[in-house]
A and B are shown apart, each in its own frame.
Chain A
Amino acid sequence: MPKNIYLDYAATTPVDERVVAAMEPYWTKEFGNPSSLYKLGQRAKHAIDNSRQTVADFFNCQPEEILFTAGGTASINLALKGLLGSYKEPMHIIISAIEHHAVLHTAEKLKKLGHEISVLPIDKDGLVNIKDLEAAIQDNTVLVSIMTANNEIGVVQDIQKLGNLIEKINKSRKNKIYFHTDACQAAGALDLNIQKLHVDLMTINGSKIYGPKGVGVLYIKKSTPLTALIDGGGQEKNLYSGTENVPSIVGLATALKLAYQDKEKNNKQLTKLRDWLIAEILNKIPKTRLNGHATKRLPNNVNISILDVEGEAMLLYLDEVGIQASTGSACTSTTLDPSHVIRALGCPYEVAHGSMRFSLGKDTTKQDLEYLMSQLPKIVAKLRKASPVNINMADIDKSVKLAARKIIKL
């Protein structure tokens, strides 16, 4: 029975048919350059304006505060480098230990340019402690960047609480602290009401919400000082020059609209499936461990470490039987480092090497997961027979308990 069960929605999603339909006119019919004076160009401009309004409505902000970019990474680079570029002296940035590489590597680049970077630890469930944030703030802190929901373990931070703290602290400070959140993974499932979140900058992208790849949004609160990274024709308020990707912008706005429309229904269904799969794996396969908080996590994220076996080997077997997933093992990363997220939880390397992420989608069915469970235990048993490793689970618990959770200066 040839099967193709995609369980890697956190990596990317297929574009929804309705989004494809909405984008269609803009390839060959309404292909105008939005900067052109004639009607063909103006129609394209209206399409962008409408999309901007749609996005602003869902974030509960002004359309002038919405910028379209080439994706999540582009938005993050603009937010971080663009903000720091507005200062003449070296300043201080705070990030969490589990940010996406777009934030981490941008922060590392900023450090090379002379700025200070503090990295907040997470607890054993993946959550940032508000006390650590407070302790890390210095006189020269100008930016805090903490992701709303993590791409690997799905853990959801209490952005509202953190935003409230920063707002309170800002009342009695010379250097205002700006708060950025990477909400790429969260956009499909969570309520991203800017007025509630108290953020100054927010990133989302199209490819995680059944929209097109190569397009993203950066929310920029009025009067947040950003310097453009890309110079050119002055589009997007001179902060992101370049002829606008009209079809993809329309696609992104449509995808966001659909996500919000179907959110409650999808979340309910996904949470049920997620919890079923987590319980199945933990109960049916011995020596397994859930990574990240059990409930403060995205409705579609399952990340479990299967000990004594290596992630890539499991992935290859799963691919052979038609299942696509991902792993936090070193062997599959471009940097040959194991998942920094699993390590930040306090888990030893073995737990990262055996970690498997199954991320569900709105079309994932119970039968899909039952098929996964008909294959996974066999695969694990076969690989375990071939493995000379026999990790003691108690040692892992001990390692997690004793892990040093300190604020680190990069």
Chain B
Amino acid sequence: MSKQNIAADIDIVPKGGDEDWAYTDEVKKHFFQPKNLIADAKSVKDYDGLGMVGSPACGDMMKVWIKVDKKEDKIKDMKWQTFGCGSAIAATSMLSVMVSEKGGILIDEALKIKAKDITERLHGLPIRKIHCSVLGDKALRSAINNYFIKSKQKDRFIKEQTRMIDKIAKVTDHDIEEAVLEGAHTLEAVQKKTKVGVGNPEVIPEVEQLIRFYQEKYFG
């Protein structure tokens, strides 16, 4: 039996912040030599879509510019700027490579890119850093939406579908998604962050399902 199997059998996986902090070489490469990074925002003149998500207050902010070939409906180029940690910078750099390599990417394909795909290309991120990397595809989607508006393709605009889970605490499925990304893996932890189901216990089965869903989505 391999060493890994034995550990899995014994189930001594430590909980909470004990796993290796170290970044992979791929992450370090993209952090210290980021690709497609804009040094001067004013220098980007000829772009087709501009997106921005996050805020300095939450510790992560991303601005994305895309160049689109309208006839081919392909993103040809992506430039970006970021206020954020090593994961945020590396993830956005990798995303910009993923959409512009091999002559670009069809918009519909670009919209399918998930945070997990970026993490895989980076050869993995420490679990608690995964949430830092998800802003990238949100920013790209925001830029694509901006392109749709500018190019008068309003029908393709993607509305962020949120579903109200708890009408009393006003918590949506997005709020729960955020909480899981920030490290809340149990009902108690999610309730601590969002107050969902506190005083409204009928919604708890649904909340627990969503927690399981988002955990699988982002942490596999």
- Chain A interfacial positions (CB closer than 8 Å to B): 308-313, 316-317, 320, 329-332, 334-336, 338, 348-350, 353, 385-389, 391
Contacts and interface: CB of A to CB of B under 8 A. Distances in A.
Contact of A349 (B17, B58, B128): B58
Contacts of B57: 348-350
Contact of A385 (B32, B39, B56, B183): B39
Nearest to B184: A336
A348 B58 CA distance: 10
A385 B82 CA distance: 9
A316 B61 contact: no
B56 A353 contact: yes
Q: Which of B17, B56, B57 has the most CB of A within 10 A?
A: B56
26 contacts: A308-B56, A308-B83, A309-B83, A310-B60, A312-B86, A313-B31, A316-B32, A320-B32, A329-B59, A329-B85, A331-B84, A331-B129, A334-B17, A336-B182, A338-B59, A349-B57, A350-B56, A385-B39, A386-B34, A386-B37, A386-B39, A386-B89, A388-B41, A388-B63, A388-B82, A389-B61
Interface of B: 16-17, 23, 31-32, 34, 37-41, 52, 56-63, 81-89, 128-129, 131-132, 182-183
Contact of B59 (A334, A353, A385, A391): A353
Which has the most chain B C-beta neighbours within 10 Å: A312, A335, A350, A385? A312
A190 to B, nearest CB: 31
A334 B16 contact: yes
Given A312-B85, A316-B86, A388 B62 contact: yes
A336 B193 CA distance: 12
Contacts of A309: 83
A167 B129 CA distance: 48
A331 B81 contact: no
Given A316-B31, A330-B59, A338-B59, A386 B81 contact: yes
Contacts of B62: 388
Contacts of A385: 39-40
A334 to B, nearest CB: 4
Given A316-B86, A334-B17, A386-B89, A310 B59 contact: yes
Given A349-B59, A353-B59, A310 B83 contact: yes
Nearest to B56: A350
Contact of B86 (A313, A335, A338, A389): A313
B37 to A, nearest CB: 5
A331 B87 CA distance: 9
A331 B182 contact: no
A335 B182 CA distance: 8
B83 A387 contact: yes
Contact of A310 (B32, B81, B84): B84
Contact of A386 (B16, B82, B85, B86): B82
A316 B29 CA distance: 12
A349 B86 contact: no
A317 B28 CA distance: 10
A261 to B, nearest CB: 37
Given A331-B129, A334-B128, A353-B56, 8 more contacts: A316-B31, A348-B57, A349-B56, A349-B58, A386-B34, A386-B89, A387-B81, A388-B81
Nearest to B40: A385
Contacts of B39: 385-386
A365 B57 CA distance: 36
